[in-house]
A and B are shown apart, each in its own frame.
Chain A
Amino acid sequence: MQKDLENKFLLDFEENQNIVHKICSIYTTNKDAHNDLFQEITIQVWKNYVKFRGDSKFSTWMYRVALNTAISLYRKSPRKVKTQDYSSFAYKIESTPYDDTEEKQLKALYAAIHQLNDIEKALIFLYLEDKPYKEISETLGITNVNARVKMNRAKEKLKNILNP
C-alpha cells in the first residue's frame, strides 16, 4: 500500500517537477537556495500526498503545496552555504536550440519578478501559468475580487519594472 503510494507520488512529481523548478527560480536567486527550496517542496508534497484525493488534477494540488512552502514554510536551511548569485541563469543551458532574444526576455522577466514581494510573485506566477481567478483566489485564500485587484496592481508593478 505504502509502496503503491510512493510509486504514484514519484511518477506524479517527476512529471510535474518543472512547476516546482519555476517556483524555485522565482523565489530564490542562487542555485543552492534553488536546490534547497526544491528539496523542501519535495518533502512537503510527499508528506501531504496521502491527503491528495485525486478529485483535482495533481498539478493543481501541487501548485498550492509548492507555493505554500515557498511563501510560508521555507526557511533558509543550514544544509547548504550560500554561493554566488546566478543572475546569469546558467540553469537554462539546454541542448535544444533556443531563440536568443527570447532567452534575453526570459532573463529580464525573471529579474523583474525577483523585485516583487512574495505575494505578488505568487500572483504573477499563477497568471503566467494561465490559472483562472477561481483557482488563484482559492490558492491564496482571498476573495475573487481581491485577487483581481491585487493581480492588476502586481501586473502594473511588473510592467513598470520591465518597461520603465
Chain B
Amino acid sequence: MDLLDKYKKVWKNQPEDAGKRSTVEIYKLAQSKSSSIVKWIFIIGILEFVILNSLYFFIDMDEAYAEYEKLGLINFIFYSQIVAYSILFYFLVMFYLNYKRISATDSAINLMKKIIKTRKTVRNYVLFNLGYMALVIVVATIASIQTNLEDLNNKKILFIVFASLIATLLILGILCLFYQLLYGLLLKKLNRNYKELAKLNTNS
C-alpha cells in the first residue's frame, strides 16, 4: 500500500472534532460580523475616494481660485475638473461593480482575480488623482513663471522649479510607501496564492 493511502485511511478514521457546534451556536456565528479581506478592501477603497476628495475642503478654494485667475488658469482648472470628476464617477462605478462581482462561490482562481481587480481599480484611481495633482502643479508652476517673468532671474526660476519638484516627489514618495505597506500587508497572502495557481496555468 502506498504511504499516502495508509494516511488516507487514518484521515478517514479521525474522530469528529471536539468543537462541534449546535445549530444555535451556528446561527450566532452566521450572524456575526465578517472580517474578510474583501470587506477591508471595500472600506479602504471608500476611504481613499473620500479622503482624496475631501482634500479640497482643507484648501481655501476662494484663495486658490483667485490665484488661478491671476495666472490665467481659470479655464484650465474648470474644464480639467469636469474631466476629473467624470473620471472619478467612472472609477466609483467600476469599483462598486467589481466589488459586487466578488463571490466566495467562484473557483479559487477567479475569486482571487476579482479581488485583485477590485483593488487595482482603487489603485488606478489613486494614480490618476496623483497624476492630476502633479499636472496642476506643473501647469501652475509654468504659468507663475511666465506671469512673473520680468521680476524673476534665472536663479529664482530654478529655485521655483526645484522646490515644486521636490515637494511633488516628496508627497508621491510618502503616498507610494504608504500604499506599499497597506496593500502589501493586506494582500501578501492572496498575491502569493494567486501566483502559485496562475503559474500552474501558464506552465502548460
Chain A residues packing against B (C-beta within 8 Å): 6, 9-11, 13-14, 17-18, 21-22, 25, 34-35, 38-40, 42-48, 51-52, 61, 64-65, 67-69, 71-75, 77-79, 90-94, 96, 98-99, 102, 105-106, 109, 117-119, 122, 127-128, 130, 138-143, 145-146, 149-150, 155, 158-159, 162-163
Residues of the B chain whose Cβ atoms lie less than 8 Å from the Cβ of A40: 34-36
A105 touching B10 by the CB < 8 A rule? yes
Which of the residues A9, A91, A98 comes within 8 Å of B17, measured between beta carbons? A91
**Chain A min CB distance to B1 (Å):** 13
In which size bucket is the chain B interface? 35 or more
The main secondary structure of chain A at its interface with chain B is helix
Q: Report 13 cross-chain contacts, Cβ distance below 8 Å, ordered by A residue.
A: A35-B19, A38-B21, A48-B105, A64-B105, A69-B36, A72-B112, A90-B18, A109-B10, A118-B192, A119-B197, A128-B12, A141-B110, A142-B200
Residues of the A chain whose Cβ atoms lie less than 8 Å from the Cβ of B105: 48, 51-52, 61, 64-65, 68
B27 touching A65 by the CB < 8 A rule? no
Residues of the B chain whose Cβ atoms lie less than 8 Å from the Cβ of A90: 18
Contact A68/B30 with A109-B10, A142-B197, A142-B200 known, Cβ cut-off 8 Å = no
What is the CA–CA distance of A40 and B34 in the complex, to the nearest angstrom? 6
B108 touching A141 by the CB < 8 A rule? yes
What is the CA–CA distance of A116 and B85 in the complex, to the nearest angstrom? 47
A77 touching B35 by the CB < 8 A rule? yes
Which of B8, B34, B38 counts the most chain A CB atoms within 10 A? Answer: B34
Which of the residues B103, B104, B109 comes within 8 Å of A141, measured between beta carbons? B109
Tally inter-chain residue pairs, CB-CB below 8 A.
Answer: 175
Residues of the A chain whose Cβ atoms lie less than 8 Å from the Cβ of B22: 14
A21 touching B26 by the CB < 8 A rule? no
What is the chain A residue whose CB lies nearest that of B195? A119
Residues of the A chain whose Cβ atoms lie less than 8 Å from the Cβ of B27: 6, 10
B189 touching A118 by the CB < 8 A rule? yes
Q: A38-B21, A72-B108, A141-B106 are in contact. List 6 more A-B contacts (CB 8 A).
A: A21-B16, A64-B107, A73-B38, A93-B18, A128-B11, A146-B200
What is the CA–CA distance of A145 and B52 in the complex, to the nearest angstrom? 47
